[in-house]
A = this chain, B = another copy of it.
Amino acid sequence: MTFPDYEAVGFKEILVKLEGAVVTVTLNRPEQFNTFSIVLSEEIVQAFELFDKDDRVRVVILTAEPTAPAFCAGANITGGWSNLWSPEVEKQGHRAHRDRGGRVSLAIYHCRKITIAAVNGHAAGVGVTGLQLPFDFRFAWQGAKITFPFVRRGIAAEAVSSYLLPQLIGHSRATSLLLSGSTVNPTSHLISSLYHQILPTKEEVYPAAKTFANELAETTSQTGVAYTKALLRHPGESIEENQLRGSWVFSAMTHEGDANEGAQSFMQKRKPKFKDTLSSTKTPWTPWWRLVDLKAKL
């Protein structure tokens, strides 16, 4: 199987760089405060769908240039909301609409690799909901201004944030943030549990995330990660169903090369060299949950 040359894909509003097993996506619209354009959203979806299938990739980082005035200032609503619609959907009505922020969230959320948001600047709206919540880990600059402004813009929480935010930090904090529209720093008691690590300066955020990513790329199993993510997101409707799903995964995986290498390297007190990949493993990717097709019939 051959994998893409990311430099040759022709991305316009993001930069994508693969180093070893870690790929870094840099938002590349600094003059527009990295606002969330149609092109940007489509490129992020495309990139994460590629990473999901690229066996070389173990960890993905999303960040912005630390010199940009914001990590992502949200959607650009200088012309009102109409620039968010495609003409086809406008003709079909509300039921055919698929929120662009949500499409980005889902592409990141469905990526089976470890994902890290390195939030090295201010973030508003979809810059939090779409570009932070669906990640596995969030690193942030302690001075970043974080805002969920929806109720102050006359709309409701978007980009599947009403699903993800309460799951991540509980309904008490999620409700405080989404219904107040207040601006907070990552160290605020309202939001701190969203972040894996909070750094004193903008400049430290990406390096800290990269060091962590490199460590995870060297020490974690690609299949172990993918199935742990699957179990976390689809735990089953009861603890008993979780035991059934988890037991099947456990039995299948412990017969594989990575589990053997995991046990051996542990006993030999050395770093593991995991070789199983999502396309090579004998444990087939077998979703036990209902797959939902979100395409609208136009």
Contacts and interface: CB of A to CB of B under 8 A. Distances in A.
Nearest to A179: B136
Given A163-B239, A173-B193, A238-B290, 8 more contacts: A94-B251, A151-B221, A152-B221, A155-B221, A155-B258, A162-B231, A171-B232, A179-B216
A227 interface: yes
Interface string A218-238: 011101110111111101101
A91 to B, nearest CB: 12
Copies of this chain: 3
Interface of A is mostly: helix
Nearest to A163: B242
21 contacts: A80-B260, A80-B264, A81-B255, A94-B252, A97-B247, A99-B247, A99-B250, A103-B243, A151-B221, A151-B228, A153-B221, A154-B221, A154-B257, A154-B274, A155-B253, A155-B259, A157-B246, A170-B170, A172-B193, A179-B225, A238-B289
Interface of A: 77-78, 80-81, 84-85, 89, 93-95, 97-99, 102-103, 105-106, 109, 114, 136-138, 149-160, 162-164, 166-176, 178-181, 189-190, 192-194, 196, 212, 216, 219-221, 223-225, 227-233, 235-236, 238-244, 246-264, 266-267, 272, 274, 276, 289-290, 292, 294
